[in-house]
Amino acid sequence: MVVAALYYARDVLIPLALAVLLAFLLNPLASLLEKWRLGRVAPAFLAVLLAMSVVGLLGWLVETQFVEVANKLPALQDEIHRKVVDLRSWSGEFGQATRNVEKTVREAAVPSSDQAAATTSTPGLTPVPQPPFSHPGVPALPQVSPLNPLPVRIYPEPLPPADSVTQLFMHTPRHLATAGLVLVFTIFMLLKREDLRDRILRLVSHGRVNFSTQAVDDAGARISRYLLKQLFINTAYGLTVALGLWIIGLTLGAAEGGFPNVLLWGFLCGVLRFVPYGGPVLGAIFPLAIAFGFFHSNTVFLAALLLFVGIEIVVSQFIEPLLYSSSTGISALAVLISAIFWTTVWGVTGLLLSVPLTVLLVVLGKYVPQLKFLEILLGDEPVLEPAERIYQRLLALDQEEAVELAQAYVKDHSVEALYDEVLIPVLTMTARDSTRGRVDDRRERFIHQSLRAIIEELGETPPPPPPPEEPPPFQTPANGKPEETPPEPSGKPLEPPVVRVQAPLGGTANVLVLPAGEEADEIAGLMLAQLLAGRGYGATVSSASALVGEVLALVEQRQAHVVCISAIPPGSVTRARYLCKRLHEKYPDLRIIVALWSFRGELAPTNSRLALTAPGQLVINLRDAQECIDHLAQPVFVAGQAAANKPVGPPS
């Protein structure tokens, strides 16, 4: 119903959409004129009049240049014919082969005399033989009789020039009426823009004025930024084309008087570039045709072709992605689909309006819950988090792409961030879906094996550079007043960066990571052990299949100073509690922390259930786990340094 309404009401909706587009463009100018105390009516009319004057001036320049080019076309006919003949001669054997194929197909399509007689004969009657061709390519007239009539084809008579002019004048009032509607709508929108804004807010708010205000402001800001940036890019594009063609004509086509009408071609290329996808190609056809037919040498044509290709590559691959990165918020595929859809519904005007209309749909999908699918389908923001993307690829048994995603994440972040924000949530999602029966055993084993491979590969990378040296101790200035920390531009004081300390020389702290009982717990423990080993700790991870008695014996064998129990909720929480209880019973003075990775519940009740001695011994991420281990291992480091500095032998 919506698409049908858009199609059958296009005579009214197209002028309305064009008026909205012009109102967005002219609103800054009208607001600027209002600041000069000109009232409300005069700025709106002046803005529209100024826009019409600019369009009229450009139209007059284009008309002058076009007439000049049209007068030169008859003189270029011989030159174009000569170059076409040269191109055919350059084609060589391939061109000859092509012509032979065309001739064979054409002759095969013409029926022979026997076939013609067979097709024109009547059952029971003797067919009338057809005379042979008088010469190849020109058949003679057949013998006409009641049994062999002459085939006749009726061609419509061409309209006389007077009728063509009549048809043109019949369509002109319609175009003038459309232009008049656009101007009237634009003026009224500029005059009543605050009232229209309030009515739209009242229409879409449904009691939530804050969301509707954000939606209207977001849509207006996106469309205005897009139109202004597109105007800037296309203007620069047209000027660059005009300048480039002028330089080519001055250097390579000086014998023919330079490249003709460069202003016309620059303006045409800049205007046609507003048309998505096909506009740059259409704009380049006309100057390339002039370069091909006007100049005797083909060097000018090749230089102009290279000019258009080079400018298009620079603009489309570098300038537009840089300027359009946050202007519209729609994906490249959505731009293509919207261009096809709106062209089908509204024709060429729909093609010009496709991007602004799609921006409105994306904004509606962002702020209206029922239309959320529009933002997902048309928006450019990723719809899956990095953890969800890697988890989805692993569910699809695509380890290669999952590894590529992890490596790409490490390039922009750290290994610790990858473990904490991506891989551990992948383990959590796997454990949750496995508990609910949504992941089979084969996929669960594949996910665990793939995560082990990623951890091993990242463990082979070189360690990060050492942390920066600590700043010198604070010194009081000569005036006796301490210097204040210079604030940031936002006014907030600078926050010191988080720096991981290395294990001091002469001190060794052994950390034993004990999985609560599942393989996922062991994989999360491998991440923690790898980070600790990179900072100088002696980190060891127990096997998830080890019995409780073996785990208790391993604490004494490894001479563990700190024990970390790794558990992926929800299934491993009970086993972590049991293991923590047994460790407390056998080693009352052992420093124990429990890591419930990505835990979302209340920490205080869980901490009491686990019977931990301090609240800080229950952690939920790698950062807190390392900080807690640093705190618990500090006495070990101090004792190690004291033993290393103790003199050997009796004192002197």
Residue 96 lies in a domain: yes
Residue pair 494/486 in contact (Cβ under 8 Å)? The answer is yes
Pair of tokens at residue 502: 């290395």
Q: How many domains does the chain have?
A: 4
Dihedral sign of CA atoms 227, 228, 231, 236 in order:
negative
Q: Identify whether residues 549 and 432 lie together within a single domain.
A: no
The per-residue pLDDT for 613 is 53
Residue 495 is predicted with a pLDDT of: 42
Domain assignment of residue 116, yes or no:
no
Residue 446, pLDDT > 90, answer: yes
Mean pLDDT throughout 257-261? 84
Same domain (yes/no): 438, 402:
yes
DSSP letter assigned to residue 205: H
Residue-wise pLDDT for 187-225, tens only, equals 888 888 778 777 777 766 666 666 667 777 777 777 777
Burial class (CB in 10 A: 0-12, 13-18, 19+), 559: exposed
Does residue 591 share a domain with residue 529? Answer: yes
Q: Does residue 586 fall inside a structural domain? A: yes
Q: Are 419 and 527 in contact (CB under 8 A)?
A: yes
Same domain membership, residue 393 and residue 336? no
pLDDT exceeds cutoff 70 at 406: yes
Around Cβ 85, how many Cβ atoms within 10 Å? 10
Place of tokens 């009426």: 177
* DSSP category for residue 593: E
560 part of a folded domain:
yes
* DSSP bridge pairs for 155: none
Residue 506: band (very low, low, confident or very high) from pLDDT cuts 50, 70, 90: very low
Taking alpha carbons only, the member of 305, 596, 290, 540 closest to residue 427 is 596
- CA–CA distance, 627 with 419 (Å, rounded to integer): 16
- Per-residue confidence (pLDDT) for residue 426, from 0 to 100: 93
Does 593 lie in the same domain as 557?
yes
- Same domain, yes or no, for 573 and 591? yes
33 and 178 in a single domain? The answer is yes
> Cα(528)–Cα(130) distance, rounded to whole angstroms?
95
DSSP 85-113: HHHHHHTHHHHHHHHHHHHHHHHHHS--H
Higher pLDDT, residue 412 or 130: 412
Q: Are 241 and 307 in contact (CB under 8 A)?
A: yes
CATH code of the domain covering residue 579 = 3.40.50.280
Residue range of the domain that includes 351: 332-378
Question: What residue type is 109 in one-letter code?
Answer: A
Distance of alpha carbon 184 from alpha carbon 23, whole angstroms? 11
Task: Specify the range with the lowest mean pLDDT, choosing from 78-87, 430-439, 489-498.
Answer: 489-498
Residue 187 lies in a domain: yes
Q: Residue 471: what pLDDT?
A: 46
Please tell me whether residues 178 and 55 are part of one structural domain.
yes
Residues 435 and 524 in one domain: no
Q: Is residue 471 part of a domain?
A: no
Band (645; pLDDT cuts 50, 70, 90): low
Q: Is residue 325 part of a domain?
A: no
Please give the Cα distance from 141 to 133 (Å, whole number): 9
Is residue 138 classed as helix, strand or coil in its secondary structure?
A: strand
* Helix or strand (DSSP H, E) at 551: helix 548-557
Q: Are residues 432 and 557 in the same domain?
A: no
CATH of the domain at 430: 1.10.1240.10
600 lies in the same domain as 583: yes
**Are 540 and 625 in a shared domain?**
yes
CA distance 419 to 625: 13
Owner of token pair 């389908």? 377
| Local structure of 543: helix, strand or coil | coil
- Helical (H) or strand (E) element with 511: strand 510-515
| From 147-161, 416-430, 484-498, 598-612, the region with the lowest mean pLDDT | 484-498
Cβ–Cβ < 8 Å for 180, 48: no
Task: Take residue 490 and report the two structure tokens written for it.
Answer: 């936002």
Last residue of a domain, one of 459, 475, 500: 459
Q: Which of 466, 469, 593, 468 is nearest to 534 (CA)?
A: 466
**Complete DSSP assignment for 305-367:** HHHHHHHHHHIIIIIHHHHSTTTS-B-HHHHHHHHHHHHHHHTHHHHHHHHHHHHHHHHHHHH
The helix (H) or strand (E) run that includes residue 46 is: helix 41-72
End-of-domain residue from the set 191, 222, 237: 191
Contact 555, 546 (CB under 8 A): no
How far apart are alpha carbons 393 and 1 in whole angstroms? Answer: 39
- When mean pLDDT is compared across 399-413, 463-477, 504-518, the lowest value belongs to 463-477
**Cα gap 195→27, rounded to integer Å:** 14
Cβ atoms of 520 and 573 within 8 Å: the answer is: no
User: Would you say 597 and 520 are in contact if contact means Cβ atoms under 8 Å apart?
Assistant: no
Domain edge (last residue) among 459, 479, 502: 459
Answer yes or no: is pLDDT of 651 > 70: no
In a domain, 142, yes or no: no
Contacts of 594 (CB under 8 A, 6+ apart): 564, 565, 567, 576, 580, 610, 612, 617, 618, 619
In the chain, what is the straight-line distance between the N-terminal and C-terminal CA atoms, in Å?
A: 102
